[in-house]
Amino acid sequence: MAEQAQATDTGPRPIVPWLKLAPKPHLEGIKCACGAMYLDPKRIACSKCGETDKFKPLTLSDKGKVWVFSVVHQSYPGIKTPYVTAIVDLPEGISVRANLTDVDPAQAQKEPNKIFNLPVELVTGVAAKDREGHDVVAFSYRPSKN
């Protein structure tokens, strides 16, 4: 049944399971009773405390702050460089890896201190089309507008 439902669903798909597209795009993780947080919702146990059934869904903020970054100049065929990759800390206490957009890569290398702690917000966009013709939506972060 699930497969049939999927075959008739022509809507967009998230590139990773922790990106939810409805009701509006946001990230969702899971949190163990011990406090450890994870992005992957299909975990079988908590790797901090070992418990298997103490997870609850955790809706994550759209805003965060940059912990560290790098500017990628060499990548695989088809990936446009340079681009900024970043680790973003969210207020819930979890970190997320994503591209950082609307930041000049050359400027980031020149003044890395200005990127540390930079307030950023989640943005989404269609990144590819899959083999079944679905739009695949990715997320990134950009400097917060407010």
Partner 1 sequence: MRNVYVLGTGMIKFGRYPDKTVPQLGGEAALLALKDAGISIKDVEMLASGNLQQSNGMIGERILQQIGQTGIPVINVANACATGSTAFREAYMSVAAGMCDIAMAIGVEQMGKAGLLGGMGGGDPAYVTEGKVGSGTMPAVFGQAGIEHMRKYGTKMEHFAKISVKSHKHATKNPFSQYRNEVSLEDVMNARMIAYPNTLYMCCPTGDGAAAAILVSEDKLKQLAGGRKRPKVAASVLTSDPWTDRDLTLPDVSTLTRRASKLAYEKAGIGPKDIALTELHDCFATAELVHYENLGLCGDGEAGKFIDEGGGKHPSLGGKAPVNVSGGLLSKGHPLGATGVANICEVVWHLTQDDRAKERLVPNAKAGQAHVIGLGSACTINILTI
Q: Which residue in 50, 53, 28 sits closest to 38, CA to CA?
A: 28
Residue with Cβ nearer partner 1 (38 or 55) = 38
Cα–Cα distance measured from residue 84 to residue 78, given in angstroms and rounded to the nearest whole number: 16
- The contact pattern for partner 1, residues 65-104, with x = CB under 8 A and - = no contact, is --xxxxxxxxxx--xxxxx-xxx-----x-xxxxx-----
Strands (E), 1-146: 13-14, 19-20, 26-32, 37-38, 55-59, 63-72, 83-89, 95-100, 119-129, 135-143
- Enter the tokens of residue 129: 């089309």
Q: Cα torsion at 16, 106, 65, 50 (round to 10°)?
A: 50
Cα–Cα distance measured from residue 30 to residue 42, given in angstroms and rounded to the nearest whole number: 9
User: Given candidates 103, 108, 118, 122, which one binds partner 1 under the rule CB under 8 A?
Assistant: 108
User: Given candidates 45, 102, 104, 112, which one binds partner 1 under the rule CB under 8 A?
Assistant: 112
Residue with Cβ nearer partner 1 (122 or 146) = 122
User: Given candidates 48, 51, 57, 61, which one binds partner 1 under the rule CB under 8 A?
Assistant: 48
What is the CA angle 93-95-98, rounded to 5?
A: 150
Which residues from 6-45 bind partner 1, rule CB under 8 A? 15-16, 36, 38-39
For position 131 contacting partner 1 by CB under 8 A, the verdict is yes
For position 55 contacting partner 1 by CB under 8 A, the verdict is no
- Identify the bridge partners of residue 26 per DSSP, sorted by sequence position: 20
Residue with Cβ nearer partner 1 (16 or 144) = 16
Interacting residue ranges for partner 1, rule: CB under 8 A? 15-16, 36, 38-39, 47-48, 67-76, 79-83, 85-87, 93, 95-99, 108-109, 112, 116, 127-131, 136, 138-140
